Amino acid sequence: MTERAMSYRVLGETGPTVSAICLGTMTFGQQNTEAEAHAQLDLAVERGINFIDCAEIYPVPTRAETSGATERYIGTWLARQQREKLVIATKVAGPARSLPWIRGGPATLDRANIREAVEGSLRRLRTDYIDLYQLHWPERNQPMFGQWQFDPTKERDCVPIRAQLEALAELVQEGKVRHVGLSNEHPWGVMEFVRLSRELGLPRVVSIQNAYSLVNRSYESGLAEIGHREHISLLAYSPLAFGHLSGKYLADPAAKGRITLFEHFGQRYSKPNLVPAVQAYAELAREHGLTPVQLALAFVYSRWFVGSTIIGATTIAQLEQNLAAWNVLLDAPLQEAIDTLHLRYTNPAP
């Protein structure tokens, strides 16, 4: 297998230049110690990764005892790095989830909450600025994290998108945030952010961080066109579907992983067609001399609309395996075979 150099892409039209692979860190502080976190970060940089993603609620599962540990671990590592060579992304938590240990709620994504969240992240990360600041999920009523139907009966009051953008604009003007992005968003929301930024001269979002994998290609249905026409890059998370696409749960449903360690993570991955789909992709991989991990990651790495793929690991060995998949290139017949399976098992983990 030919060793392939890391590639770099500009997020959006004017965003930061990032490596095609981003190191996800949601295990730091729960499944990984500070020393293990630093070892992963060192290896990632050694392999050409300049892009690190975190969030104020990490590690997961989020809880009061560990809240903010991920950013703190990155901060102690970042203190001995050349800051200007790295792109650090983090996120502000919104309402719709019960997080009483974070800003007492948080109740809204208003100016006060966004500002307090940024200040907290800056302290924990030990930096003066955040390269990419993302809204972790929409404040408004939306299906998320395994829910798949919009329910208008669940409408609630929320901070207008304009006010959210205005709060972010202040932080950009102050130099505390360089660029802004979205996460777990839907087409209507993305277009509202685009419209308001254009009409009012507010910061344009450069990226959207959504789940994307062989078993969740829902991004392609509406958001891919928006991303292309409005120059918004996808940051693809969960490319291995929380370990399912590694095939390890096929051999042992009780195998150690986030799905078995933390029960509430199963909602997105408990749909009827998930196991048959994973089996089919694992068989396809073996038919082509690949591991299931190689097939799953090479697929996401190859997609034209992906600005960067967020990979996470709990061991250095897993991280090495994920990085090595960058060297796998899928030929046209294999891409066609993947699409055939997708039409049979369409998005079993939305």
Long-range contacts of 263-268 (CB under 8 A, 24+ apart): 264/61, 265/60, 265/61, 267/145, 267/146, 267/147, 268/145, 268/146, 268/211, 268/216, 268/242, 268/349, 268/350
- Active-site position among 8, 58, 129, 133: 58
58 in active site: yes
Query: CA 44 → CA 19, 20, 55, distances in Å?
Result: 10, 12, 18
Given a contact cutoff of 8 angstroms between Cβ atoms, the answer to whether 90 and 80 are in contact is no
Consecutive H or E run containing 121: helix 111-125
Consecutive H or E run containing 19: strand 17-19
Given a contact cutoff of 8 angstroms between Cβ atoms, the answer to whether 68 and 26 are in contact is no
3-class state of residue 70 by DSSP? helix
3-class state of residue 105 by DSSP? strand
Cis status of the peptide bond prior to 106, with omega within 30 of 0? yes
Given a contact cutoff of 8 angstroms between Cβ atoms, the answer to whether 310 and 53 are in contact is yes
Catalytic positions, please?
58
